[in-house]
Amino acid sequence: MGGDEVRRVLDRSREFFAGRETRAGLVGRRLLRTSTGHDAELADHLVREIRRRTRLDGSMGGSLVDTAWAAGELMDLGCLRDCAALVRMVGYLLTRQDAPGHYAEGCTDARHREGCCHHVLHGFFSPAVRDVEIAPLTFPTGVTVADEEEARFAASCLALRAVLRAGEDRRDVVREHTSSLLASGCFQDPWRRGTNPDLFFFAIGALVHGPLADRSRLASRLDEAAAAQREDGTWHETALFHALEMISGATAPQVHRITARLVPLLCSMQRPSGAFDEAGNEEWALIAVRTLLLAGSDSA
């Protein structure tokens, strides 16, 4: 795949994101170096809109997933870690850590052998008590998690991602959780073990923002992802754009190799509109642009 084709893709992406008054539009323009003078005002407006929808307890409608995603949006929009709205959201997420209904609650022989029970893991964030079913859960990255227990794992990882991005890895309970999650076998090498690879990427998406002390162990998980890629760069039974969004926060050399393999596929997927699907999904277009830039195929 030549640099000219990548540049054409990025040019179409500039047209796609031009004038869009959304978070994805604003971030897309920032990545592509086409920000306008209006974007600072737009960011303020979008931040206020998120704050307006926030409950007094800091949550978005009492939802762990919606709150975690909104916290990420605030950070994308430039909110610093001491931003009042972000502090309240992260505070809500932290109240859900080890609360009733979290993943790894309880134990069975099989889960104990895999290191996926409360004897081995703690610190998961609970989306709801066990009496409340949360599955299926659909995430903005385009992945749907249909199994109840897997949905609780995914929801917790999204919350952990927001907490770590907000700088809360200084908390002992958060650091202990990231360390135990890395050491556990419950999400490792899903393509070999026959488990859900989307969960693998949920965990990766959080852990890439974790403490520096954990980065060497995280590298082996990224090696697993690189080794499992097929010839076109995709993974078996894995939501592509979800996987790419989850690794986007990593700076490890494996990420360059992973994303570089996907450049030809992403270029072939782009439509004349600049979108990467029929529906014109802004989130997918943003993920695709970020992936192309991570691959280092071209500068914006």
Domain ranges, ordered by start, for the chain = 3-294
- In whole angstroms, how large is the CA radius of gyration of the chain? 19
∠ CA(95), CA(119), CA(217), 5° rounding? 80
- Counting other chains too, the contacts that 129-134 makes at CB distance below 8 Å and 24 or more residues apart are 129/100, 129/101, 130/100, 130/101, 130/105, 132/101
- Reported as a single tens digit per residue, the pLDDT across 207-259 is 999 988 888 889 999 999 999 999 999 999 999 999 999 999 888 889 999 99
The tokens of 53 are what?
A: 């929808």
Which class would CATH give 3-294? Answer: mainly alpha
Classify residue 187 by burial, with Cβ atoms within 10 Å: 0-12, 13-18, 19+: buried
Q: Is 70 exceeded by the pLDDT of residue 2?
A: no
What mean pLDDT, rounded, does the chain reach? 93
The percentage of the chain sitting over the pLDDT mark of 70, rounded to a whole number, equals: 98
> In this structure, what token pair is assigned to residue 117?
């029970």
* CA dist., res. 300 & res. 297, Å (int): 10
Lowest mean pLDDT among 33-37, 149-153, 294-298: 294-298
Residue 188 confidence (pLDDT) above 90: no
Better-predicted residue by pLDDT, 90 or 188 = 90
Task: Give the separation between CA 160 and CA 176, rounded to whole angstroms.
Answer: 12
Q: Are 249 and 204 in contact (CB under 8 A)?
A: no
Q: Identity (one letter) of the amino acid at 53?
A: R
Taking Cα atoms as reference points, which of 201, 37, 203 lies closest to residue 116?
A: 203
Q: Which residue has the tokens 């097929």?
A: 230
Which H/E stretch holds residue 144? strand 144-145
Q: What is the predicted pLDDT for the residue at 86?
A: 96
Q: HSE of 17 in the Cβ direction (CA atoms, 13 Å)?
A: 30
pLDDT of residue 297: 44
Task: Give me the residues paired with residue 137 across strands.
Answer: 145
| Single-letter residue type at 278 | E
How many other CB atoms are found less than 10 A from the CB of residue 69?
Answer: 18
Q: What is the pTM of this model?
A: 0.94
